[in-house]
Amino acid sequence: MASGLAYRFDRPGKNLLHPYSSVSRARLNEIRWLYQTQYLEPQPRCQPSCWRPPPSRSLWPSLPPEIVHMIFLRLDMTTLGTLRLLNSMIRRQVDSLYEYRMLRAHAAETLKILDIAQCTHFFPVHQLYREFCHPRCRTCPDFGPFLYIPTLSRVCLQCVLRHDRYRVAALDVGSACYPVLRRDRWDLPIVCFLDLLEGQYTSEMLIDVTHAQLMYQQQQQQQQQPQSASSREEPAAQEWVYRLQDTFQRRLRSTVAFPCWDPHARIAEPGVYCYGCTKFWEISRGKSRRNPGNRQEHYAWNTTSPGSKGVDRAFRVPDLPQHFATCPHVVRKLRKGEDHTALRFGESVGRIIRVDAGGERGAGRSARGGKK
């Protein structure tokens, strides 16, 4: 175990994923409002009958708190927000739901982007909270500071960019590969993104390829009818279509920064990064031009250069001393006069902190002075 310097992103989503950089906040709020008010379209009312039964007393106030809690956990965040508006009693019940309060308090930015992506109604609170408390990436042992929206899975940056489990495709491309989606596509979580990377205003609907394949296979099993060779080979023949479009950018557009809640320490951890790895990468990477649109060519995840694997790896604070013990680029102390903020592309992304060998965050003055 060893001590060293680390940092957290001031704004994890903006600093790393650059979400919605060219869309005004007023426009984003308008999109969220439209989604929250229109995704639950009111059902057409039946023609009222001539005879109406006398109004009965509501049974809701007599329900045990445990039953109310179970019902609320199976609703999504938007529905709970709507229920709060019904009356003061339900407002108090919703506000007393621990999982709802913790998500609202510590993952507000994530919830906002789920609203903008028009995906909140796909995921009940208990599923969202379970992932909120799960620290590890679902496909590797590393800490996962991000949430892959189509399957609501905690993930690290390397896995979401390179693992086959996180393939995405545009909805129209998926429908061409799997005709079943033309009829049942709304059964899949669809990510509606706006300008999620590098300030280019675009709008597109993305789906998870693994989910689409599973839905197609289930439909074929249910039909249990002999198929022609051409129909069996159709998805395989069009594999190249979505593989060609399954880019780093699309995968990042389906991902959002997501802190991890430790219910014992009562801390929401967005992830800490080794300052030494970042400093080494900033010195050794290829220099980008001033135009931000060209930066993606120089991101660590888009190269295989030395140091590119460590710069984007996130940790929990207790796990950092083990990394410091083997990291060849670890920085123990800042040099005299050195800036106390970590830089990426010459821009400040977070304040440097010291983590001691016991996995505890040290005092701010511990990072000052001395040599590497």
Reply yes or no on whether the pLDDT at 201 is more than 80.
no
Among 295, 294, 116, 313, residue whose Cα is nearest residue 196? 116
What is the rounded CA–CA span in Å between residue 368 and residue 332? 10
pTM here?
A: 0.81
Task: For residue 206, give every residue at least 6 positions away whose Cβ sits within 8 Å of its Cβ, in sequence order, or none.
Answer: 150, 168, 169, 170, 171, 190, 191, 193, 250, 253, 254
- Domain assignments of the chain as residue spans, ordered by start: 4-12+269-367, 61-133, 134-258
Coil, strand or helix: which one is 7? Answer: strand
Share of the chain above pLDDT 90, in %: 34
Q: 34-88 pLDDT, tens per residue?
A: 777 765 554 444 455 555 656 656 788 888 999 999 999 999 999 999 999 989 9
By mean pLDDT, which of 125-139, 157-171, 240-254 is the weakest? Answer: 240-254
Among 12, 295, 304, 298, residue whose Cα is nearest residue 158? 304
The gap from C-alpha 51 to its chain's centroid, in whole angstroms, comes to 51
Q: Is the dihedral of CA 312, 313, 316, 322 positive or negative?
A: negative
Instruction: Pick from 31-35, 43-47, 229-233, 304-308 the range whose average pLDDT is largest.
Output: 31-35
